[in-house]
Structure 1
Amino acid sequence: MLDSRPESEDRTELLWAVGDTAGVERWIADVLEAEPDAALPRLVAGVRHISWGWEARTGARAQHVSREQFEIFHDRLRTAEKHLYEVAEREPRWTSPWYGLQTTGRGLQVGPSVARRRFEATVRRDPHHLGAHQQQLQQVCEKWGGSHEEMHAFAAKSAFGAPGGTLLGQLVAIAHIEEWLSLDQGPDDAYMRRPEVTSSLRKAADHSFRHPDFVRQGAWLKVLNTFAMAFSLAGDRASARECFQATDGRVTEFPWNHLDGSDPAAAYRKQRSSAGR
């Protein structure tokens, strides 16, 4: 399936589905040995080691992650980097290895300059690659050493610097959700209900999924789910209802896991009901 989905059609979602599958790390080693010159098995191995690394680290804050967990995390990410650089050498036009290196770079704390170069290497090959922009947005988030101002500026520049109808409008919604997550209960809701937040979400929606050139392909469903949650938190029921109608009951784990980590679909249903859909 991966081989039939060319890089030009963005196989990020498929790769991550493989990467999140337990046990891939056990049998992929035999494939690498059997096909020493093949790029795709190395790509799979690299992506699996990224996901496997984050499994060891968990999603906890750094102060709640043990030294042993960090050692396993970094060891697996370094293995991933080895595989991904080998893929990049074999297939210099491929986007996926550089996208993977953006993720490993954040975990290994390579610093903003190296992270920026990896992002630029990805978008040189695919200027509107959603995953690459999502990774760079995380890189400039406050929790990863950036700031809210830098995060919002990057989101707006990426979204509105792209032609109308791309998926990159999602970055604006993600940035607002990220700031909402950083705030305590009470101030978080007050932030999302600011008129300027609602206005920026509507502008991003107009330039993205509401644009006549928008095509429902790739990660479009995740984009609509993200806007559905952002508009719900902002209290814009009409816009949220529009998104819920477009998703037609199809729920993506992100971003609803931020509202209910154990049952994202329950969070979706609750907000959909509140929006009157």
Structure 2
Amino acid sequence: MLSVARPDVAAPLVPLHAAVRAGDWPAVAAFFADPAREHLVDSAVFMIGELDGVEVFLGDALVRRPATETLPRLLLAARLIRQGWGPAISADHLRRAERLLIETTARERHNAAAWTQRLRTARGLRLGRSEARRRYDECARLDPHRVAAQRLYLRQLSPMWGGSVELMFGFARECVAAAPPGAANGVLIADAHLERRRELPPGPYLADPAVLADLHAAARRSVRHPDSRPDGQSWADAHLTFASAFHLAGDDRAAEAHRRALETAWT
């Protein structure tokens, strides 16, 4: 079984994690206001959404901060989405999150992080592929290579959610081809193959030479490319996904290379 030692929170997000746990709203707001941390925003939003009990702090911030501030709405929505995606989907939590995100994007149409989160509510509330595409297009208009949005929309295109193998792989290859070499977007190919494997009867799908070659090509273009930099959670998540895919394919040498890259960056 593949094992990758990792901390609970990636190093760039540690100060934010500490600020949230301390209930320090000014420090949380300062983290998101820092232009140098723009590439961490999606990872930070997802991380906060995972923290048990954080909804109390975020609800208080929503009440206390001016109505024009959208950050409390975005973060509370992320937490509600996580709660809504529990063992059973809670439409009530997702609808509450959707309302907060609608308010956020109404005030700030340029808020790509909010549009990214709205891809999650679109899928959970089963709003359909055309609505999901509209939301993805808003993200792409603001950031054409936003990997978090692309990974979420890829799920919408998977057979599990009413899409197809052709739609899923077509989108993945389009995004990877357009992204700069060394970007984490290559992980979309691994995502697509893992989704495809989920739909098939048990068998060695990932070990097929053509599939394995596709995974290696995607990894070489993204996180194994010389221009790749360990600049955030998207990079780490891409390594984790590739490591998992190669492990399931039986290519333990490749899986170990991704595991070592993570351990080197995190120690």
Q: Give me the TM-score of the superposition, normalised by structure 2.
A: 0.81
In the alignment, the residues of structure 2 paired with residue 231 and residue 30 of structure 1 have an alpha-carbon distance, to the nearest angstrom, of 44
CA deviation after TM superposition for structure 1 residue 41, in Å = 0.9
In the alignment, the residues of structure 2 paired with residue 250 and residue 211 of structure 1 have an alpha-carbon distance, to the nearest angstrom, of 15
In the alignment, the residues of structure 1 paired with residue 240 and residue 97 of structure 2 have an alpha-carbon distance, to the nearest angstrom, of 30
Distance 1:30-1:240 versus aligned 2 partners, 3 A rule: closer
Match among 174, 182, 194 for residue 165 of structure 1: 182
SS of the residue 1:196 aligns to: helix
SS of the residue 2:85 aligns to: helix
In the alignment, the residues of structure 2 paired with residue 148 and residue 82 of structure 1 have an alpha-carbon distance, to the nearest angstrom, of 32
Tell whether the 8 Å contact from 1:197 to 1:234 is kept in structure 2 after alignment.
no
Aligned residue number for residue 139 of structure 1: 156
Residue identity opposite 1:148 in structure 2: V
In the alignment, the residues of structure 1 paired with residue 77 and residue 115 of structure 2 have an alpha-carbon distance, to the nearest angstrom, of 11
Say if 2:230 is the partner of 1:216. yes
Residue identity opposite 1:205 in structure 2: A
Give CA deviations for 1:113-141 in whole Å, capped at 9, x if unaligned.
11001011112112211110110110001
In the alignment, the residues of structure 2 paired with residue 10 and residue 201 of structure 1 have an alpha-carbon distance, to the nearest angstrom, of 25
Aligned residue number for residue 104 of structure 1: 121
Aligned residue number for residue 275 of structure 1: none
CA deviation after TM superposition for structure 1 residue 22, in Å = 2.1
Aligned residue number for residue 115 of structure 1: 132
Aligned residue number for residue 112 of structure 2: 95
Say if 2:173 is the partner of 1:156. yes
Aligned residue number for residue 247 of structure 2: 232
Residue identity opposite 1:45 in structure 2: L
Q: Where do 1:17-166 residues align within 5 Å?
A: 17-35=47-65, 36-55=67-86, 58=87, 73-166=90-183
Aligned residue number for residue 11 of structure 2: none
Aligned residue number for residue 5 of structure 1: 32
Say if 2:202 is the partner of 1:191. no
CA deviation after TM superposition for structure 1 residue 88, in Å = 1.5
Give CA deviations for 1:125-162 in whole Å, capped at 9, x if unaligned.
12211110110110001100011222122111111221
Higher relative contact order (CA 8 A, sep 6+): 2
The aligned length equals 234
Say if 2:223 is the partner of 1:246. no
Identity, in percent, stands at 35
CA deviation after TM superposition for structure 1 residue 242, in Å = 1.9
Aligned residue number for residue 24 of structure 2: none
Q: Provide structure 1 residue ranges, at least 5 long, that are not aligned to the other structure.
A: 59-64, 252-277
In the alignment, the residues of structure 2 paired with residue 129 and residue 161 of structure 1 have an alpha-carbon distance, to the nearest angstrom, of 11
Tell whether the 8 Å contact from 2:230 to 2:265 is kept in structure 1 after alignment.
no
Residue identity opposite 2:258 in structure 1: C
Residue identity opposite 2:32 in structure 1: R
Q: Provide structure 2 residue ranges, at least 5 long, that are not aligned to the other structure.
A: 1-15, 17-27
In the alignment, the residues of structure 2 paired with residue 250 and residue 176 of structure 1 have an alpha-carbon distance, to the nearest angstrom, of 26
Give CA deviations for 1:78-101 in whole Å, capped at 9, x if unaligned.
111111121112333221110111
Distance 1:250-1:178 versus aligned 2 partners, 3 A rule: farther
Q: Give me the TM-score of the superposition, normalised by structure 1.
A: 0.78
Residue identity opposite 2:48 in structure 1: V
Residue identity opposite 1:52 in structure 2: Q
CA deviation after TM superposition for structure 1 residue 201, in Å = 0.7
CA deviation after TM superposition for structure 1 residue 249, in Å = 7.8
Aligned residue number for residue 199 of structure 2: 182
CA-based RMSD of the aligned residues comes to: 1.9
